[in-house]
């Protein structure tokens, strides 16, 4: 049972405790730290997801891995998810989907993303994930400081809601660290990366990225949306504008 210390205070204490630790060390120690509590990894099985999945396979292969199947993913992502789970021996993958009745009511013909990407993400990602996380005290993400200006001060531990925190073991890593880890551990790459997709989400809202473009330029191309809304600050979805993601 966690104590009654406010989540922001606990996150600050944890950041001070693990400030000089490596990503693997942060992951390993957090999974048994009583100030963290019951934890799950949330994974999209996207372009860089295999790094954290590999760490989990080594440290805690039975850790719950929440995989959000929006039912609009690339077939390659679904095949990659099965391949990685088998190769790494992950034994507790929990697939999360939107309530079918809600989908039939709000998006009966599967075109909601064409009119409101925020509404589609809320229906297929944010709401199902929030329900799945209700039984956890913390969740592990792959967020990193280099990904956008709004993440430049990202810490290992941060408040998510009044009762839950996020753990960002890779917060201090750069792109070269990700690439080196994958090569050194001979990890399988998402097949779409080689086809020009450095950031991979739902098929209707993800396009290839041209040389020189920002790696996330293919997500919700043509709009100022760069986040799916599953990340929260003070209980509210984060909205990051395009200029913040440069």
232: Cα within 13 Å, side-chain hemisphere = 21
Answer for the pair 14, 7: CB distance below 8 angstroms, yes or no: no
Answer for the pair 206, 95: CB distance below 8 angstroms, yes or no: no
Sheet holding 65-68, edge to edge: 93-96, 65-68, 39-43, 138-140, 164-167, 157-161
224: three-class secondary structure by DSSP: coil
201: three-class secondary structure by DSSP: coil
**Residues annotated catalytic, as ranges:** 228
Rg of the Cα atoms in the chain: 17
CB contact burial 75-88 (16+ within 10 A = b; e otherwise): ebbeebbeebbeeb
- Residue 174 has a CB neighbour count (10 Å cut-off) of 12
The rounded distance, in Å, linking the Cα atoms of 79 and 75 is 6
Q: Is 236 exposed, middle or buried (0-12, 13-18, 19+ CB in 10 A)?
A: exposed
């Amino acid at each position: 049972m966690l104590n009654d210390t406010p989540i922001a205070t606990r996150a600050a204490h944890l950041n001070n405790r693990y400030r000089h630790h490596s990503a693997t060390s942060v992951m390993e120690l957090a999974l048994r730290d009583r100030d963290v509590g019951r934890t799950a990894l949330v994974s999209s099985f996207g372009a860089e997801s295999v790094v954290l999945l590999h760490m989990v396979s080594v440290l805690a292969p039975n850790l719950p891995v929440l995989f959000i199947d929006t039912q609009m993913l690339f077939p390659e992502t679904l095949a990659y998810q099965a391949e990685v789970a088998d190769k790494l021996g992950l034994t507790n993958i929990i697939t999360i989907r939107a309530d079918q009745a809600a989908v039939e009511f709000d998006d009966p013909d599967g075109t909601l993303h064409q009119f409101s990407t925020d509404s589609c993400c809320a229906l297929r990602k944010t709401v199902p994930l929030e329900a799945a996380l209700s039984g956890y005290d913390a969740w592990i993400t792959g967020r990193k400081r280099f990904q956008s200006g709004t993440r430049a001060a990202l810490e290992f531990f941060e408040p998510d809601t009044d009762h839950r925190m996020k753990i960002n073991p890779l917060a201090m890593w750069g792109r070269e660290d990700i690439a080196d880890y994958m090569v050194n551990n001979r990890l399988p790459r998402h097949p779409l990366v080689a086809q020009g997709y450095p950031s991979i989400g739902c098929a209707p809202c993800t396009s290839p990225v041209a040389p020189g473009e920002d790696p996330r330029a293919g997500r919700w191309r043509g709009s100022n949306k760069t986040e799916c809304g599953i990340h929260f600050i003070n209980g509210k979805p984060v909205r990051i504008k395009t200029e913040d993601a440069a």
